[in-house]
Amino acid sequence: MISNRRHPTNAALFTFITLLSACIGAAFGALFPIDAGRVEASDEVVEIQGDVVNVRRGPGTQYGIVAQVRRGERYALLEVQGDWLRIAYTAEQSGWVAGWLVIRRPADGETAGARAVAAPEYPQAYVEATVQRLNVRNGPGTDWPVITQINPGTRYPLVGEQGDWRKIRLPDGQSGWIAAWFSTRIENAAPREETPTDAANAAPNDTAQAGPRTVRIDTDVTHLRNGPTLDANIVGKLMRGTTARVIATEGDWLKIALDDGTQGWVAGWLVAPDDGDRSDKPPLGTVSIVADRTNLRAAPSLEANVIKQARFGDRYPIVEVLDDWYAVRLEDGTVAYVAAWIVSTDGVIDRVTNGRLFGKVIVVDPGHGGSDDGATGVDGSKEKALNLDVALRLEAKLKAEGATVILTRRSDVYLSLADRVARAKSAGADVFVSLHHNAYTTPTMRGTMTFYYRDFALAQALQNALVQKTGFRDLGARYGNYYVLRENTVPSALVEFGFLTNAEEIKSLRDPKIKDREAEGIVEGLVQYFAQQQNAKAVR
C-alpha cells in the first residue's frame, strides 16, 4: 500500500537536530565549563628540535604543509591543542607543529616568527636569481606551492640550503625556497635595494639575460614541449647529455634552441647548467669500436634507428652507462647509443694480428643467469656460475688468438633467449657458441655433448676438440631444437660440458684446470671449423 502522508525532509530534520544540539551544548557548557586545552597567545616560545619540522595548516598530520622550520629556531607560541602547537612562523602567518618535535621555553624576545627578522644562518651570504620570474616555493621541491616570484637584480639573505634548493628571506620577512641552479650565491656581500623589476612587473615572455646560457639534459629522456606546462604538446624527446641554448624562461620552464634550430620548452628541474667544464665529474672513459660497421643507434635498443655505422678503431667519449648500453657523444655533439657487448672500454685496442682467429667475431653465450640458475649440482653448484667461469676463461684465450669476442653476459644477470640471439645478429658474428652444463635423472650419466640445429660441422668440430682436451666421455654432436640455435642466423652450437648430477664428474667440472681445458677445446674446435670452411671454399 502506498501512503500519501508527507514526511519532514532530510534537510529540515538535519537543521532541527543541529539547533537542538547547539542549545544543549550551550546549556551544558554553562553548567559544566570544559578546559579544551587551548592557550591563547602565551608568553612562551617553542624551540625546534627536529632537523626539519613541517608547519601544517591545522593540528594534525592530515593537514597540508605550509612551511618548514629548522632545529634551533624559536617561534612565538600562540595556541595549544593536545599534542600540537600553533606558532607564528612569520609576522603575519601561523601554523601548527607537532609538540614532540619542539621544546616549550619562556619567551625571551628572540623569536624568529614574531619579529620576522631572525638572523639568517648565513649572515654574510646572499642569493640572486639568474633568470626572470624565478618561482619561490614553500618548500625545497617543485611539488611545493609557489608563494611569489623574484627576478635578477635583487639580493636576498640566504637562510638555509637543502640539496639543490636554497632558502631565502623575502623583504616581508617570509621565507621561501628557490632552485639553486637558477640562482647564484654571493658571499660577504651587502644586500641590494629591491628594484621595480619584481615579479609583478615581469613580462610573461621575458628573455633570460642572466644565468646559464647553455643547459644540458640531466635525465634519461626529457620531453620537448610547445609550451611551458606539462599539459603542452610533446614535440620531441631529448636524451641525457643533449645541450641547448636558453632563449627564454617562464617560471620553472626554459625555452631552448637546439643546434639544428629546433625550439621548445623543457622543465627546468630536468636540466643542469652546461659550462663545458666536467672537471668536477669523474670521467666515464671512452669506447673503442672493435668491428667495422658497428651500429650507433638513436636509443638504447636494437629496434632503434641507426644514426651511423662506426669503423674499427673509432673512439667515442662515454656520456652515460645504461645497463648493457653506452651513451656516447659523436663528433657533431649528437648522443648515440652502442651495445656494450660489441665494444671495448679499456681505451686501448689490443689485438693480436697474427692469431689463428684474427678477424673472426665470436659470440660466447654463458647460459642462464640472474633469476635463472639452470641446473643445480649434487653438491649445490649452480650451472649459471660454472657457465660464466668457463666463458671468461674462453674470452681470454680467444682474444689471444686475435678474435673479437662478445660475451652475452659478464655477470650474474638474466637475459632472454631472444636477447642472446639478437646480440649475435647485431654484431654480425661469425659464430655463436652457447655454454652449458648438463643434468639428468640418472646419477651415473656423464660425458660431453654438443648440439646443433643446422650447423653440424661446427658442433662436430667443437665436440671432437673438447673430448680430446678434457678426456670426458664422448656423447657426440646431436641435433637440438633449441631457440638459440633454431632462431639464429649466425652459425651456432650449444655445448654441454658434463653432468652436474654425477658426483664424480662434478668434481672435475669444478676443477680450474679442467675449465681451462674446456676453454682450450672450444678454441681448437673453432680453429678447426674455420679451417674446414676455408678449405671447402677453396675446393669450390
Question: Cell digits for 526?
Answer: 673453432
Opening angle at CA 171, ends 170 and 173, nearest 5 = 70
Q: Please compute, for residue 146, the number of CA atoms within 13 A of its CA located in the half-sphere on the CB side.
A: 11
Q: Using N-to-C axis directions, what is the helix angle for 383-400 and 512-539, rounded to 10°? A: 50
Q: Using N-to-C axis directions, what is the helix angle for 512-539 and 456-470, rounded to 10°? A: 140
Active-site residue (options: 383, 395, 496, 524): 496
Cβ distance 153 to 130 under 8 Å? Answer: no
Cβ distance 472 to 447 under 8 Å? Answer: yes
Q: CB under 8 Å to 201, separation ≥6 — which residues?
A: none
Please give the full DSSP string across 40-54, using - where no structure is assigned. Answer: -S-SEEEEE-SSEEE
194 is catalytic: no
Question: Cell digits for 434?
Answer: 652457447
Classify 413 in phi/psi space as left (phi over 0), alpha (psi -120 to 50) or beta: beta
Which of 350, 373, 356 has its CA nearest to residue 520?
Answer: 356
Query: Which amino acid does the sequence have at 42?
Result: S
Which of 144, 152, 110, 147 has its CA nearest to residue 128?
Answer: 152
Residue 233's Cβ-count burial label (10 Å; 0-12, 13-18, 19+) is exposed
Distance CA 127, CA 141 (A): 17
Q: Which helix (H) or strand (E) is 432 found in, with range?
A: strand 431-438
Rounded alpha-carbon distances, angstroms, from residue 364 to 163, 213, 285, 342, 370: 45, 48, 25, 12, 17
The set of catalytic residues is 496
